[in-house]
Each structure stands twice: as C-alpha cells, then as structure tokens.
Chain A
Amino acid sequence: NAGVMQNPRHLVRRRGQEARLRCSPMKGHSHVYWYRQLPEEGLKFMVYLQKENIIDESGMPKERFSAEFPKEGPSILRIQQVVRGDSAAYFCASSPLSGNEQFFGPGTRLTVL
C-alpha cells in the first residue's frame, strides 16, 4: 500500500510565476490536508479538503493561493505570482476520516528566485 505521494519533490520558480504542487493520498483516504513548513519551524495548517469540497481553508492566504481535490486525480495546491516569501516546504497529509491519524507525504520544497 503506497504512502502519500507528492510531486514534484523540488520546485524552483522565479518571482511572478505559478507553482503547482500535487498530492495523491493513501489508498482509501478521502481527506487531504496541506501544511507549510518554514526553515527551523514546525508545520502550519493551510487547508483541509475532501473529494470535491474545501472544508476549511482558514490557514491559507486569501490571495494567490488556492487548493482543490477533484473527483478524479490528485489534490492540487496552486500558488499564483509567487514571491520569495513563498519559499518553504509544503507537506500534504491524508486520513481515512476526519480526526483520524494523519499520514504525511515527503513534501515539495519550493524555492522562489
């Protein structure tokens, strides 16, 4: 049973470009969570999605950031017009039900030049 998959593992973008991060949850998991980690810090919650629904996006910046989890395919975290402050590791987690143990992917390390 494959774990949570994220790609790409590393992403380099110039200021103003778009970044698209993908997350495939574990088999049988329909709940996906995105977190951001700055260097030397713990993770910060961004958004919680179920299939085709955003349940809680309270941790996600209102502008430039969006997330989706379509009926088919991976969850996508999209950052438009990236700035240097967006440089961070972005982790995706999944669980079979809300409130269950979350399992994390390997993360995507975004560097904005």
Chain B
Amino acid sequence: GIQVEQSPPDLILQEGANSTLRCNFSDSVNNLQWFHQNPWGQLINLFYIPSGTKQNGRLSATTVATERYSLLYISSSQTTDSGVYFCAVYRVDSNYQLIWGAGTKLIIKP
C-alpha cells in the first residue's frame, strides 16, 4: 500500500523561528491534507492541497504531485503552533480513505 513519510519526526524551535515540514508519499494520490493536532488532541484542518501552493496567514503549503511530496511552511512561530503536524493522502483507488504519516512533533519555546 501507499507509504507516507514525514520529516523531521521532532523539531524544537525558539519563538519567532521559521520551519519547513516535509511529507513524501510513495505513489500517486488524489489529494492531500495537512492537519495540526494541538496538545489537547484536537485535529485542525490546515490545507486541502492536491497540487500547487496555498497560504493562510503565517502558514503555507506546497504540493508537487508529480514528484510525490508536499511541504508545510510555518513562519514567525508562536508557542501556540506547538503540537503534531500530520500529512494525510487520499489514495487514487479510494478517494475517501485517508492514509496518514506518523507526524512531525513541533515544540516552540518562548
């Protein structure tokens, strides 16, 4: 089955720093979502991005479907950005079944 790999697994930064999180997937996908799981466990939708670039405030995402990767950029980090960032893809043969990476755990220190 399709594999989703995220890097780095852990990231510790000072407030104000920028970061880039990567998601590689092993096969063609229909679509891709980025999520933030906050320290209380809630999943927050960040981007729904099959290809191209989208921006939302300090966050932006780029998916290059032909090369099977997506990047999440976080600029001017705040302590509230802490948590786990997940990438999940929709398989081509199953457009509803999300396949998840293991996540990048981000800690922003004040």
Write the residues of chain A forming the contact surface with B, with a CB cutoff of 8 angstroms.
Answer: 31, 33, 35, 40-45, 48, 55-56, 59, 89, 91, 93, 95, 98-99, 101-104, 106-107, 109
Interface of B is mostly: strand
Q: Report the nearest A residue to B48, measured CB to CB.
A: A101
B43 touches A45 (CB 8 A): no
Interface residues on B, range: 20 to 34
The interface centre, meaning the residue of A43, A89, A93, A109 with most chain B CB atoms within 10 A of its CB, is: A43
Q: How far is the CB of A3 from chain B (nearest CB, A)?
A: 10
Extra inter-chain contacts (13) besides given A43-B86, A43-B98, A106-B42, CB under 8 Å: A31-B96, A42-B86, A42-B88, A42-B103, A56-B94, A56-B97, A59-B97, A89-B41, A91-B43, A98-B95, A98-B96, A102-B96, A104-B45
Known contacts: A91-B43, A99-B90, A106-B42. The answer to whether A45 contacts B33 by CB under 8 A is: no
A56 touches B86 (CB 8 A): no
- Supply 20 A–B pairs (Cβ within 8 Å), ascending by A: A35-B98, A42-B4, A42-B86, A42-B88, A43-B86, A43-B98, A43-B100, A45-B98, A48-B96, A48-B97, A56-B96, A56-B97, A89-B41, A95-B96, A98-B95, A98-B96, A99-B96, A101-B45, A101-B48, A107-B41
Would you call B75 an interface residue if the criterion is a C-beta within 8 Å of the partner chain's C-beta atoms?
Answer: no
